[in-house]
A = this chain, B = another copy of it.
Amino acid sequence: SIKENKAEQQAINAVPGIKDNETRASEWGKNYPRQYDTYMQTRKSEDITDVLKQDPALVVMWAGYPFSKDYNKPRGHYYALEDNINTLRTGAPVDKITGPLPTACWTCKSPDVPRLMKRDGELEFFTGKWAKYGDEVVNTIGCGDCHDNQTMKLTLTREYLKRGLDAEGSLKTADATHQDMRSLVCAQCHSEYYFKKTEWDDKGTKKTAMVVTFPWNKGFAAEKMEAYYDELNFSDWTHQLSKTPMLKAQHPDYETFVTGVHSRNGLACADCHMPYVREGGVKYSSHKVGSPLDNIANTCLNCHKGTEKEFRATIDKKLARKNELAKIASDVLAKAHLEAAKAWEAGATEEEMKAALQDIRHGQWRWDYAVAGHGAFFHAPEEILRTLGGSINLGQDARLKIRIVLAKHNAVDYVAPDFSTKEKAQALVGMDYGKLVEEKKTFLNGLRQEWIKQGEAKGIYDPESRKDMKLKTSYN
């Protein structure tokens, strides 16, 4: 009522009292119940969408790389840590030093990460295997990832973002405005990265850190990052079938967003993904970071006229356009890998294959850049379609070159085998999927349970953060 509104307008601005290094959201939430409640609602986005099943070509394209084992669409922040631990990508370590992945894989999953970086130093944090910190990284993405505990100001808790921004140059960290910060807190994680091998000296001991690094020195565009990687002669892995030195793009959400119309009009991620909501006379940011389409009335319609239905239709159309070109590209690239494998088998030389492999590297990079950011079809539709057009061209160029090699080795009629289901594709690349799942389950029932207990014992783990968690994976 009108009277209530007046009262509510006054009842605000409680003074925070949050301990340093507090990583438990429920503790912060005591002071900020509205933000906490909405934050906890990210668990409503709980469905697993298996991308490898949707487009099995990806299994072929990533052969020899963890992504070929398991890759899903993102869910709510509530699940970030859980999914990281459950994915087949992180494998089944049995102790602190078994792999396959490095500590860096925790980086974007928890506020325990900045805590550990402070405690152990950034280089030590990035040294060793993932399992090393299993009993320390115990809370999913939370307040401490984005806020300063003293002032509640938005803050960057990851140094590598600051280094990335400063190297890129168009927005130096020191110049970031409040509105910029409403995007940059997201850019800490929603950006393309690679692990930079860094030798360092720990009081006399030589160690090797795998430091999360943003490849931004030459710019944000697909071609610019490609040039950066080429110059370093960097590759994420060598493709199992085609032997191409490959690049993997991971969610360049921020980099593509800035090319889009909303960024050019001054919007930040939080404008759509954390819109202001009103309760009585009070407004606050919804911390239910998720699809803005769940709340079109309070996001799009703040600035646009039209109906929810119209906006859904517009977005569907954009998605369909992206999917059309992305599907062409993945089909072309998967075939290129298989045809290259055949060429090697038929006796092709490195010299003969070199140019084609370079095309595969660049073509697949562009495709990945365009699709790995799941929102980019909307954030930056034109840039994405442009990049996919380039990807298709390079992929086909590679196939043309390989076809000539095949002809020279008497295999001009080779037809790539069928990879139309996830199972067929996994069989093609010789993956023992059953075994991966078995090992993973052993890990989940064993070491993983230990981690929870140890976290609890140390008093850093927040049981609230996994309340009613159900095991949902692509394989169970």
Residues of A at the B interface (CB closer than 8 Å) are 264, 310, 314, 318, 321, 324-325, 328, 332, 381-383, 385-386, 388-390, 392-393, 396-397, 399-400, 403-404, 407-408, 412-413
Contacts and interface: CB of A to CB of B under 8 A. Distances in A.
Contact of A321 (B264, B332, B382, B397): B382
For this chain, the copies found in one complex come to 2
Contact of A396 (B314, B324, B396): B396
Contacts of A328: 389-390, 393
24 contacts: A264-B314, A318-B382, A321-B382, A324-B390, A328-B390, A328-B393, A382-B382, A382-B385, A385-B385, A385-B386, A385-B389, A388-B389, A389-B392, A396-B396, A396-B397, A396-B399, A399-B400, A403-B404, A403-B407, A404-B407, A404-B412, A404-B413, A407-B412, A412-B412
A408 B412 contact: yes
Contacts of A321: 382-383, 386
A404 B339 CA distance: 14
Contacts of A389: 324-325, 328, 385, 388-389, 392
A400 B408 contact: no
A421 B64 CA distance: 45
Contacts of A400: 396, 399-400, 403
Contacts of A396: 392-393, 396-397, 399-400
A404 B338 CA distance: 17
A314 B259 CA distance: 10
A353 to B, nearest CB: 16
**Residue with the greatest number of chain B CB neighbours at <10 A, chosen from A321, A389, A390:** A389
A314 B262 CA distance: 12
A383 B393 CA distance: 18
Contacts of A403: 400, 403-404, 407
A355 to B, nearest CB: 14
A397 to B, nearest CB: 7
A416 B473 CA distance: 52
Contacts of A404: 403, 407, 412-413
Contacts of A388: 389
A94 B249 CA distance: 64
Contacts of A381: 382
A332 B397 CA distance: 10
A318 B264 CA distance: 14
Nearest to A382: B381
Contacts of A383: 321
Contacts of A382: 318, 321, 381-382, 385
A320 to B, nearest CB: 9
A416 B324 CA distance: 30
A404 B415 CA distance: 12
A298 B396 CA distance: 45
Nearest to A412: B407
B386 A324 contact: yes
